[in-house]
């Protein structure tokens, strides 16, 4: 899966329970996010700056929490743990690896670590860089200063080395039990269970056999795959595409609505520019032709034979 900083990515088979999100692979929570759930994963957990997490963090591998973030529950890690400056953990910290903590970290219920414990200097690295730049200015090495600033600017957008399967929450997102707000797109994988009402400024895509217990509201378009269940309304400023055997309990509204003949909508349909009914078999046939023209089917057949 391609890493996209402008999309809330919920991977396949992710399950939202009442207070915890169970998923696979790495979990990346962007800066200034409000998460009213805990997180449980078999990968790693990366928490950005100024994040508020409302539950436990449980990872079989490393956990990293950046500066000024607050964890309301416990942290359990099967690997190493990094806690940045001013991080607050209201529960207990348990880890099997090494613990690396910054200045003024608070762990209210204590911690258990089986590896090394490193407490870093309270002086941030940026202060050392600032002092070094001042010394270069004094001796007139302006070219060296420009080179350092360019390297810092390039490293600022460096790709995060995460697993192939990952859960990603973009910066400034609110993921709540009843209401969620994101300034970008939403992508829900296959066979997921998602709780809450989602307001997005981008597009929404829900893959096959996923259940959403809430309303989907998008400033862009909404696409629902096959055998999807939406326990709420589907509202979009753009087009709405609902796949075969998908069931919507509430109303559906959008600029245009493309509705499969095998889909079911319990509420009303409202489309500014009309409603079109799609035959799933025709769609599959069209996809088959496109795959044949690009030789994708031939590659898949050879792959099956080799397996």
The pLDDT value given to residue 125: 56
The pLDDT value given to residue 285: 45
CA–CA–CA angle 166, 169, 172 (5° rounding): 165
* 119 and 205 fall within a common domain: no
* Burial classification of residue 237, based on how many CB atoms lie within 10 Å of its CB (0-12 exposed, 13-18 middle, 19 or more buried): middle
Report the alpha-carbon distance of residue 254 to residue 301 in Å, rounded.
39
* 14 and 117 fall within a common domain: yes
CA–CA–CA angle 163, 212, 216 (5° rounding): 100
Report the alpha-carbon distance of residue 130 to residue 17 in Å, rounded.
46
DSSP letter (8 states) at residue 80: -
DSSP letters, 101-112, are E-TT-EETT-EE
Report the alpha-carbon distance of residue 73 to residue 19 in Å, rounded.
11
The pLDDT value given to residue 121: 58
**Is 184 part of any domain?**
no
**Is 177 part of any domain?**
no
**Is 59 part of any domain?**
yes
Q: Where are the beta strands (DSSP E) in 159-279?
A: 166-169, 174-175, 179-182, 185-188, 193-195, 197-200, 204-206, 211-213, 216-218, 222-224, 229-230, 234-236, 240-242, 247-248, 252-254, 257-260, 264-265, 269-271, 275-278
pTM of the model: 0.80
Residues 6+ apart with CB under 8 A from 4: 168, 185
Q: Which residue in 58, 5, 12, 54 sits closest to 30, CA to CA?
A: 5
**Is 303 part of any domain?**
no
The pLDDT value given to residue 273: 95
Residues 6+ apart with CB under 8 A from 104: 85, 86, 122
Q: What does the H/E/C string look like for 33-74? A: CEECCEEEECCCEEECCCCEECCCEEECCCEEECCCCEECCC
Which residue stretches of the chain have pLDDT < 50?
157-158, 285-286, 288-299, 301-307
**Is 137 part of any domain?**
no
DSSP letter (8 states) at residue 121: -
> Number of structural domains, the chain?
2
User: What is the pairing mode between strands 75-77 and 93-95?
Assistant: parallel
* 114 and 31 fall within a common domain: yes
**Is 46 part of any domain?**
yes
**Is 237 part of any domain?**
yes
* 200 and 114 fall within a common domain: no
Domain extent, residue 116, equals: 7-123+159-166
* Burial classification of residue 124, based on how many CB atoms lie within 10 Å of its CB (0-12 exposed, 13-18 middle, 19 or more buried): middle
Report the alpha-carbon distance of residue 160 to residue 25 in Å, rounded.
14
**Is 112 part of any domain?**
yes
């Amino acid at each position: 899966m391609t890493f996209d900083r402008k999309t809330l990515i919920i991977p396949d088979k992710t399950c939202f329970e009442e207070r915890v999100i169970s998923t696979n692979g790495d979990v990346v929570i962007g800066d200034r996010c409000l998460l009213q759930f805990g997180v449980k994963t078999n990968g790693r957990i990366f928490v950005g700056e100024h994040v508020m997490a409302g539950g436990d963090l449980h990872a079989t591998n490393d956990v990293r929490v950046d500066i000024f973030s607050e964890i309301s529950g416990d942290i359990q890690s099967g690997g190493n743990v990094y806690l940045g400056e001013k991080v607050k953990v209201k529960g207990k910290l348990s880890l099997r690896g090494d613990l690396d903590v910054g200045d003024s970290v608070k762990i209210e219920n204590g911690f258990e670590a089986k590896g090394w414990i490193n407490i870093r200097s309270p002086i941030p690295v940026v202060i050392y860089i600032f002092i070094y730049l001042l010394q270069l200015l004094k001796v007139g090495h302006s070219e060296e200063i420009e080179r350092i600033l360019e390297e810092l600017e390039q490293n600022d957008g460096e790709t995060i080395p995460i697993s192939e399967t990952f859960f990603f929450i973009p910066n400034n997102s609110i993921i709540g039990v009843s209401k969620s707000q994101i300034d970008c797109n939403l992508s829900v994988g296959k066979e997921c269970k998602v709780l809450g009402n989602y307001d997005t400024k981008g597009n929404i895509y829900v893959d096959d056999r996923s259940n959403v217990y809430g309303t989907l509201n998008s400033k862009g378009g909404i696409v629902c795959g096959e055998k999807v269940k939406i326990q709420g309304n589907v509202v979009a400023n753009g087009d709405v595409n609902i796949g075969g055997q998908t069931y919507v309990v509430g109303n559906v509204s959008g600029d245009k609505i493309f509705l499969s003949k095998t889909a079911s909508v319990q509420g009303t349909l409202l489309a500014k520019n009309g409603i079109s009914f799609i035959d799933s078999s025709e769609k599959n046939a069209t996809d088959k032709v496109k795959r044949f023209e690009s030789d994708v089917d031939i590659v898949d057949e050879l792959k099956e034979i080799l397996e």
